Amino acid sequence: MKKFLACALALTLTSAMFASCGSSDDSSSSKAEAKTTTTTTAATTTEATTTTAAPESTADSTAASGTESEGEAAKDISEMPATLKNYEEASVYFKKDMDVASIVEPFAEKDYENDESHVNLSIEELAGVPMLKVEVLDQDNGNYKIPKIKFHMEKFFEGHEADLEKIFTIKADVVTKAVGEFTGDDGTKSLVPGNFMGAFVTQPTTGEGENSWNDLYDFGEAEWTSEWGSYELTMRPGIKDGATFVNSTEPQYVSLMRWGIPNQADFYIADLRFEDEDGNVIACANFGK
């Protein structure tokens, strides 16, 4: 029952998010974007870039299905590194001494007055693996609001921008970790991250000071037994016209958002992997191991 209630709530929130994310003035493609420091978002926004939304999503969707973990034995966090599918050969790794704010930032509409949450972005080791930690700060009627972050592709490929247009597939190893307890409909409490549902998006430049919006993968995962869950997110901009990046020094983004949940859970990004059409890894020289 606790999973049924949580999934029903998550799907309700997902429907609401899709209703807002599909329009051209959606917060996901908003003109108003948050200023950041290395670790904490500011309360003000800037008109740094304008984005335009795709008229409708062509994303792969798994929003209705989650990881079936109920009934399994809880796994210790020490087992997590072995679940990372791309860590041995990724394009981008996260290190403790990197300038977080220069490569990734949150985004929101109307100074976070809508459904987006402020976040803390930092590098933290999880079971010995340095990762980008996304800590969600804001609640609305007891539910944690939506964190939305975007990675600066022009920074990852600085000095070799020609490689941007070679990207066909993008992968990310993501880990969710419970911070607060999840309460089931029967009042039972458990330290689990629960639902991990959201969207994986590309925002290439149009060449006119704007970025297109390409929702390519709507994911739906869940963990109901262990304190943590591990997932591989995959999207393929190469299969959609206008979704691929271009050879340019202008801002272009890979964006990730998680729909709202009733319990407190952080998520961590261990790596990013960019592949060409043949599946070969495209290196980011300044962000390798």
pLDDT in tens, 145-176: 999 999 999 999 999 999 999 999 999 999 99
Predicted confidence (pLDDT) per residue in 226-281, tens digit = 999 999 999 999 999 999 999 999 999 999 999 999 999 999 999 999 999 999 99
Torsional sign, CA 268, 234, 35, 27? negative
Q: Give the whole-angstrom CA distance, residue 236 versus residue 31.
A: 25
Predicted confidence (pLDDT) per residue in 180-231, tens digit = 999 999 999 999 999 999 999 999 999 999 999 999 999 999 999 999 999 9
pLDDT(44) > 90: no
Q: Give the whole-angstrom CA distance, residue 199 versus residue 215.
A: 7
Q: Which residues have CB under 8 Å from 274's CB, separation 6+? A: 91, 92, 167, 169, 170, 281, 282, 284
Q: What six digits make up the tokens of 2?
A: 């606790």
Question: Nearest 5 degrees, angle CA 161-CA 166-CA 169?
Answer: 120
pLDDT at 48: 37
Mean pLDDT for 48-58 is 40
pLDDT at 110: 85
Of the candidate ranges 22-26, 72-76, 115-119, 192-196, the one whose mean pLDDT is the lowest: 22-26
Question: Which DSSP string do the residues of 112-160 spell out, in sequence order?
Answer: GTSSB--EEEEEEEETTEEEEEEEE--EETTEE-B-EEEEEHHHHTTT-
pLDDT at 72: 79
In the chain, what is the straight-line distance between the N-terminal and C-terminal CA atoms, in Å?
44
> Which domains are seen in the chain, by residue range?
2-287 (2.60.120.260)
pLDDT at 272: 99
pLDDT(59) > 50: yes
Of the candidate ranges 56-60, 129-133, 228-232, the one whose mean pLDDT is the lowest: 56-60
pLDDT(16) > 50: no
**pTM across the whole model:** 0.79
pLDDT at 62: 46
pLDDT at 111: 86
Q: Which residues have CB under 8 Å from 204's CB, separation 6+? A: 211, 212, 214, 237, 242, 243, 244, 245, 246, 252
User: Rounded mean pLDDT of the chain?
Assistant: 84
Q: What six digits make up the tokens of 12?
A: 């309700």
pLDDT(283) > 80: yes
